Each structure stands twice: as structure tokens, then as C-alpha cells.
A and B are shown apart, each in its own frame.
Chain A
Amino acid sequence: MLGSDLVMYEEEFKQIDAELQRLLTQANAKVVFLVDKNGQLIAATGETENLDTTSLASLTAGNIAATGGMAKLLGEKEFSILFHEGARDNIHISIIGQRVILVVIFDQRSSLGLVRLRVKKSAEALGSIFNLLLQKVEGGKGAGKAGDSPFAEITDEDIDKLFG
């Protein structure tokens, strides 16, 4: 099957979360979150209590996928930044390392210029965290890690139980 599944470990999750919080503060944003290109929410920080982050994640990925399709038709590799302007809130979306999507929601307390600047800095930091994570996942597969895998001992019964 194509590529490898995305796996997240405690250590990297903490690093990512810290970086997102830094970005949230420095960019004066309302919400910052990270989605993988298939629409799975990886991490979110800020005023997320009343926000449907799961749906936002899926729609963001759909948005990026559609824009990517447009890019291909124009002979571009990708459009790496998208920006949606609203009456109150704005959304800044950028692709990091061709694999994950960084979303920043902000209002009039911040500005597009500031968000762009801070996103650029965070993108580098997040990019290297993900590179290390991928190496770890590739290296760990099959060797030693199998013991920790929640799937190793899965039975039909476990799956039947899911449906009650």
C-alpha cells in the first residue's frame, strides 16, 4: 500500500503542541490546528471549545485537495498557501512539507502579514519535527514496536464489541 500510516507518539505530540501554542501567541491568533492531508486532525490549540474541529479538519483537507487539483491543471505543483477572508474571522491555510496542513484562524486582533510571518517560522520547526517522526515510524516498524501495538492481539470479538 502507498506510503506509511501516520503514527504519532507522545514525545513528538508534545513538541508539536508546544510549537502550535507558540504560534498561537506570537501570531495573536484565535485557533491554530494541524491536519494531515487525508483530513485527520493531528493537534489543535486556542479557542477550540465551541469549534467543530473534526469537521473543520475534513473540510480543510478537502479544500487543499481541490486547490491541489486546480494547481495540477495549471501545471503548478501545489498552491502552498490559501487565505479565506470573512467579516469577522479569517483563515490562513498552508501546507508543510507536502504532508500536513497548518491552519490559523484569526480576527482583527491580528493581521495577515503577522500571521504569514509567524507561520513561516513555525513551518520550519514543524517540518523538522515531522521529518524526525517519519524516520522514527519507518525505523520502528516491525522491530520491537509490535509489542506496543494495539492491533497485535486484536480478535474478531474485539471488533464485534465495537458495534455493541
Chain B
Amino acid sequence: MSFINYSSREINCKIVYYGPGLCGKTTNLQYIYKKTNPDSKGKMISLATETERTLFFDFLPLALGEIRGFKTRFHLYTVPGQVFYDASRKLILKGVDGVVFVADSQIERMEANIESVENLRINLAEQGYNLDAMPYVVQYNKRDLPNVVPLGEMKKALNPRPVPDFEAVAMDGTGVFDTLKAIAKLVIMELKKGQEG
């Protein structure tokens, strides 16, 4: 649910990075944080365990400049990927405007990817959202590793709709901003539709 403030002329939107444990959601946010002009980002907050597994969420506020005189701000969140943190994942999806699904391209993580997409679909439905009808992009991460699933197969398994999708290596930033740009675009277009309706 976006927040449009006519008083301070701001638009705020919420984007959630979803995916199985260790797929690189936090790495995506860290790269965005590292590469963004200090003026346009806030502090990145990570609620993580000592071993750097996300416990509750990561949060990165990002100011992207103006559209028609309105400052646009995106609040990026990640969910904890580990299966047993489902209660926390549900909470973070509240009021989401757009979802990025980060898939782990390694063969042995394919099952975890599929399980995570299903989990996303169910958790969204509980909040009254339909994954097939909302701003959504897919990122195939870790493409640099040797044991990856062929792209075609990943698309077939994880992106049947299909929505915009990107190959990525979040560690070195490949595909990270393409993914962000695509979801930002879809969210703003959705806002436009909502306002017209």
C-alpha cells in the first residue's frame, strides 16, 4: 500500500525481496546501498543473527528523485528466507506494493526455490493479494556459479506468467539495478492505474 502525501509532495512505496534462505536477498540490498549516492539513501537496517542470517528483515529507504514534482521514495525490505521464519515473512508482506523473487540458480536449491514461490503465493493470498495480478519480477541469482540450472528451465519452473526476469550475480552487482528498476517501474505504473480507477 503506497502512501501519497500531497502535503509534503511525496510518494512512498514498499518493495519486498522474497526467496529461499541464502539466495542473496540481503546481498541485493547491500549492493544497492553501496552504489547509491549518500544523499538519496537512508541507513540500512539489518535485523540479523550473529551468523548474518536475516532474523526479521532488512530495510533500506531509497529516494529516487522526482516524478512530476513528487519526491519518490522506495522502502526496500527483505524477508528471512529460512523456512521456519514464516510468521515473520507474513508480517513483512503487509502493505507491499511490489515483490522481487530472488531465486538461487544452483541445481541443489531448485526445490527450495519452488517451495519459496509457493510460500510467497500463499502468504500474499492471506493478505488479500494475488501474485498473478501484482507488480512482480523474478531474479535468477548466482549465475556465476558452475552448477547452475539452465535459464530456460528456471524460467519454466519459476516464471510461468511470465513477468520481467533477470539473470544476476548480486555479489558483484550484475542485474541488481535492472531488477530494482523493473519493479519500481511496475509499481509506479500500478499506482497510475489505481489513481485512474
Minimum C-beta distance from A96 to chain B (A): 16
Spell out B's residues near A (CB within 8 Å): 1-8, 11-12, 14, 42-43, 45, 47, 56-57, 59, 61, 64-65, 67-70, 72, 75, 87-88, 90-92, 94-95, 127-129, 134, 177, 181, 184-185, 188-189, 191-192, 194-197
> Which residue of chain A has the shortest Cβ distance to B7 in the bound complex?
A13
Spell out A's residues near B (CB within 8 Å): 1-10, 12-14, 36-40, 42, 52, 54-55, 58-59, 62, 65-66, 68-69, 141-142, 145-146, 148-154, 156, 158-159, 161-164
Whether A37 contacts B94 by the Cβ 8 Å rule is yes
Minimum C-beta distance from A13 to chain B (A): 4
Using A6-B4, A8-B4 as known contacts, say yes or no to A66 and B59 having CB atoms under 8 A apart.
no
Minimum C-beta distance from B13 to chain A (A): 9
Whether B57 contacts A150 by the Cβ 8 Å rule is no
Minimum C-beta distance from B42 to chain A (A): 5
Whether B56 contacts A62 by the Cβ 8 Å rule is yes
Whether B70 contacts A6 by the Cβ 8 Å rule is no
Using A2-B127, A151-B195, A158-B68 as known contacts, say yes or no to A55 and B42 having CB atoms under 8 A apart.
yes
Q: Which of A7, A38, A145, A159 contacts B67 (CB 8 A)?
A: A159
Whether B67 contacts A10 by the Cβ 8 Å rule is no
Question: Which of chain B's residues have a CB closer than 8 A to the CB of A40?
Answer: 3, 12, 14, 75
